[in-house]
Copies of this chain bind each other. A is one copy, B any other.
Amino acid sequence: MHKSGDTLPVRIAFVGGGSLNWALTLMADLAEDTRLAAEVRLFDIDPTAAERNARIGARYAQVSSGTPATYRACNSLPEALEGADVVVISILPGRFEDMGHDIAIPARYGIAQAVGDTVGPGGFVRAIRSVPMLAEIGRAVRDHAPEAWVCNLTNPMSCLTGALYAAFPAIRAWGECHEVTKIRRQVAALAGEGASHRDVEVSVAGINHFTFVTRIALHGRDMLPDYRAWAEAHREDGSFLTEPGKDEEHARYFGSRCRVAFDLGARFGVPAAAGDRHLAEFLPGYLDDPQRWGFALTPVEYRIRDRAAKQARAEALAEGQGTPAASRSDEAMVDQIVALKSGAPFVSNVNLPNTGQMPGLPLGEVVETNAMFSGLGIVPMVADPLPAPLTDILRDHADRQTALVGAVMEVDGGALFPLFHSDPLVRHLDTATARAMFAEMLAATAQWLPDNLRGAA
């Protein structure tokens, strides 16, 4: 039993352990943390990458503020899972080339996408490709670590968290996304000097990447009126937002002026919490003129270049060059693990099947709201109802995502096309055209699909 002050031992299985983003962030967070004593097992379908990351992990351990974490590359998923308390899933479903097709083919049919990994034709096909992967991981958790806490970081978040639960209904999984940090940073900035986004409480409602915020507080003070006034004042000019610490090119492709968020806030009367590139994909109109709205359609070509640069930096780090730094990121995962192991409550917004927390959406559909992590596990907190016109848009997406996961799990290709065609970015096409586009997209990613889904169009 945990006593205050004790170190909390934890075994973490990292699936996609060769990851260039999340794995390294976790290492820096663990090095900065003083509460956990972590044993990290890295598994990747690319074993070289996992081994490289194990070497990088060892370097982070050297700069640890608390009990140093240990890192080990595993040769199999069962080996990584056996005895794990926590499983982290961060995989790339398919290659960036597949993501390229997800965007380029719809573009030829006149459909622009800013990201293409969540909804729209790109997100839809990405889900078809990746749901079987996550289902396989879910079954492995069932067989090798059924009591483990499972944190999914992979997109499309809603569908993939749904796939884990479809594969193993008793899984203790949540989907983790840091998109909502953006609005918390904005509020902290509004509050002025000394305020930290970590102290900003927000009440989150929606589905992943289409989230809204119904309450905002800082140290017991209601910050919603201040935020609203600021957003309304900047509805025309916007307010440039990008991730801290990134270069100019990254900012150009991933940043935004928040004008979509501000327009949605004015439209529905509730602040939008996700970034413009994501928000714009959930309803028609904004993608017709991204320049006007102040965001970019992120080029896959840039992602490929960026990945190469990251890979080079990782190799160097593994070889002993550079200096790893213990530093606390905006990711909530380490705090979540501490809460689960110690019993001290921690609140953050996560993706879970709806058991009542999201008013107006059917039970069982994956939604994003606040949840409390503690000795009781992960307990969703009931969100405020969103305005009816907004709830109908959410419901349309959530219903489709749920049906999509079901169709892929049951390998029911016939059910897929009507769902694909009903996405708001696709809905205006006639049936024959939509079907042709779907067929092209499936053909381009056929290597990742189960046999029976290849001809689903």
Scan residues 278-319 of chain A and give those whose CB is less than 8 A from a CB of chain B. Answer: 283-286, 288
> What separation, in Å, do the CA atoms of A286 and B285 have in the docked complex?
17
Q: Closest CB of chain B to A361's CB: distance in Å?
A: 10
Q: Which residues of B contact A372 (CB under 8 A)?
A: 345, 347, 372, 381
Q: Is the CB of A219 within 8 A of B343?
A: yes
> What separation, in Å, do the CA atoms of A268 and B220 have in the docked complex?
41
**Can you name the residue of chain B whose Cβ is closest to the Cβ of A268?**
B418
A and B contact pairs by CB, cutoff 8 A, 21 listed:
A1-B218, A1-B219, A1-B220, A8-B220, A215-B377, A217-B376, A218-B375, A220-B343, A221-B375, A267-B421, A268-B418, A347-B372, A355-B385, A356-B357, A356-B382, A370-B379, A380-B382, A381-B382, A388-B400, A389-B400, A389-B419
Q: Is the CB of B422 within 8 A of A393?
A: yes
Per-position binary interface string of chain A over residues 385-404, scored 1 when its CB falls under 8 Å from any chain B CB and 0 otherwise = 10111111101100110010
Q: Which of A2, A358, A391, A418 has the most CB of B within 10 A?
A: A418
If over half of A's interface residues share one DSSP class (helix, strand or loop), that class is named, otherwise mixed; here it is: mixed
Q: Which residues of B contact A428 (CB under 8 A)?
A: 283-285, 288
Q: Does A429 contact B (CB under 8 A)?
A: yes
Q: Does A374 contact B (CB under 8 A)?
A: yes
Q: Does A341 contact B (CB under 8 A)?
A: yes
Q: Closest CB of chain B to A201's CB: distance in Å?
A: 5
> What separation, in Å, do the CA atoms of A231 and B379 have in the docked complex?
26
Q: Closest CB of chain B to A371's CB: distance in Å?
A: 8
**Can you name the residue of chain B whose Cβ is closest to the Cβ of A191?**
B1
Per-position binary interface string of chain A over residues 213-230, scored 1 when its CB falls under 8 Å from any chain B CB and 0 otherwise = 001011111100000000
Q: Does A427 contact B (CB under 8 A)?
A: yes
> What separation, in Å, do the CA atoms of A136 and B20 have in the docked complex?
57
Q: Knowing A375-B201, A428-B284, say if A220 contacts B387 (CB, 8 Å).
A: no
Per-position binary interface string of chain A over residues 262-278, scored 1 when its CB falls under 8 Å from any chain B CB and 0 otherwise = 01001111000000000
Q: Does A247 contact B (CB under 8 A)?
A: no
Q: Which residues of B contact A246 (CB under 8 A)?
A: none
Q: Which residues of B contact A429 (CB under 8 A)?
A: 285
A-side interface residues, number (CB < 8 Å): 71
> What separation, in Å, do the CA atoms of A381 and B215 have in the docked complex?
16
Q: Which residues of B contact A421 (CB under 8 A)?
A: 267, 389
> What separation, in Å, do the CA atoms of A248 and B162 have in the docked complex?
55
Q: Is the CB of A380 within 8 A of B381?
A: yes
**Can you name the residue of chain B whose Cβ is closest to the Cβ of A265?**
B431
Select one of B267, B393, B403 contacting A388, CB under 8 A: B403
> What separation, in Å, do the CA atoms of A283 and B426 have in the docked complex?
11
Q: Closest CB of chain B to A105's CB: distance in Å?
A: 19
**Can you name the residue of chain B whose Cβ is closest to the Cβ of A343?**
B220
**Can you name the residue of chain B whose Cβ is closest to the Cβ of A389?**
B422
Per-position binary interface string of chain A over residues 423-443, scored 1 when its CB falls under 8 Å from any chain B CB and 0 otherwise = 010011111000000000000
Q: Is the CB of B3 within 8 A of A219?
A: yes
Q: Does A340 contact B (CB under 8 A)?
A: yes
Supplied contacts A269-B418, A288-B428, A389-B399, 8 more A-B pairs, CB within 8 Å:
A201-B343, A203-B379, A217-B374, A267-B418, A267-B431, A284-B284, A347-B374, A370-B379
Scan residues 338-366 of chain A and give those whose CB is less than 8 A from a CB of chain B. Answer: 340-343, 345, 347, 355-359, 363
Q: Closest CB of chain B to A61's CB: distance in Å?
A: 24
Q: Which residues of B contact A191 (CB under 8 A)?
A: 1
Q: Which residues of B contact A382 (CB under 8 A)?
A: 355-357, 379-382
Q: Does A199 contact B (CB under 8 A)?
A: yes
Scan residues 145-180 of chain A and give those whose CB is less than 8 A from a CB of chain B. Answer: none
Q: Is the CB of B221 within 8 A of A392?
A: no
List the 5 closest pairs (A to B, CB-CB), nearest first.
A217-B375, A356-B356, A285-B428, A389-B422, A284-B428
> What separation, in Å, do the CA atoms of A399 and B370 have in the docked complex?
27
Q: Is the CB of B203 within 8 A of A431?
A: no
Q: Which residues of B contact A393 (CB under 8 A)?
A: 396, 422
> What separation, in Å, do the CA atoms of A431 and B381 have in the docked complex?
31
Q: Closest CB of chain B to A339's CB: distance in Å?
A: 8
